[in-house]
């Protein structure tokens, strides 16, 4: 692990995309930023995807993260919602991969477990633990941004471990790891 690095965490969504940034120096993390991209006012799904891509590129170009950690979509009953969420995740991943930044995805359970020690913790419990860990003065009204921050912190805790989420270092790595899924 590099002596100093920045990790961008993303909680993808087509209504709200949450994100958080931490800086890691000498194996100690410090809080940089958390925020969200509010997409509720847009009806066009393709416009939302474009905005997610552009905002992710803007974050990358501004903060120069060394790693991106992203929350993987959870499996729900509504297939249309899952497809939209998967697209949002894919667009955010594509933004990072287009800048040659390694992307690692973590399941919501793994993120919750890393932050609270409980894979079934609530959003509020995760947010409170992050507030304590990173000495945040206050928490945002919406907790999507803390979910993004949680992905970054989860990645910090899991670096150097043998088994982490799926990780891609670029387009070639992504294609190689997903060859069986892609029809030619």
The owner of tokens 């891609």 is 168
Catalytic residue among 11, 36, 105, 147: 11
Instruction: Check residue 15 and report its DSSP letter.
Output: S
Exposed/middle/buried for residue 175 (C-beta within 10 Å: 0-12, 13-18, 19+): exposed
Among candidate residues 36, 105, 144, 147, the one labeled active-site is 144
Residues 6+ apart with CB under 8 A from 117: none
What does the alpha-carbon distance between residue 8 and residue 33 come to, in Å, rounded to a whole number?
Answer: 9
Alpha-carbon distance of 160 to 173, in angstroms, equals 19
Counting DSSP H helices and E strands in the chain, the numbers are: 6, 6
From 38, 58, 61, 71, active-site residue: 71
Answer yes or no: 43 catalytic. no
Binding positions for Mg(2+)? 11, 71, 144
| Residue among 10, 4, 38 at smallest CA distance from 23 | 4
Active site residue 44: no
Beta bridge partners of 28: 25
* Residue 124 is among the residues annotated as catalytic for this protein: no
The neighbour count for residue 9, using CB atoms within 10 Å, is: 30
Catalytically active residues, by annotation: 11, 71, 144
């Amino acid at each position: 692990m590099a002596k100093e690095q920045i990790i961008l965490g993303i909680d993808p969504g087509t209504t709200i995309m949450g994100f958080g940034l931490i800086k890691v120096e000498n194996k100690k993390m410090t809080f940089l930023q958390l925020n969200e991209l509010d997409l509720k006012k847009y009806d066009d799904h393709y416009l939302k995807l474009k905005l997610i891509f552009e905002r992710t590129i803007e974050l990358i170009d501004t903060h120069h993260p060394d790693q991106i950690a992203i929350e993987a979509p959870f499996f729900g009953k509504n297939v249309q919602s899952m497809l939209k969420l998967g697209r949002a995740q894919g667009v955010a991943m594509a933004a990072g991969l287009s800048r040659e930044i390694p992307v690692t995805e973590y399941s919501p359970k793994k993120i919750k477990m890393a932050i609270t020690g409980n894979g079934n913790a609530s959003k509020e419990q995760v947010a409170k633990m992050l507030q304590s860990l990173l000495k945040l003065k206050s928490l945002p009204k919406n907790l999507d941004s803390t979910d993004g921050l949680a992905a970054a912190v989860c990645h910090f805790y899991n670096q150097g471990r043998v088994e982490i989420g799926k990780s891609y270092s670029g387009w070639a790595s992504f294609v190689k790891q997903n060859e069986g899924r892609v029809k030619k």
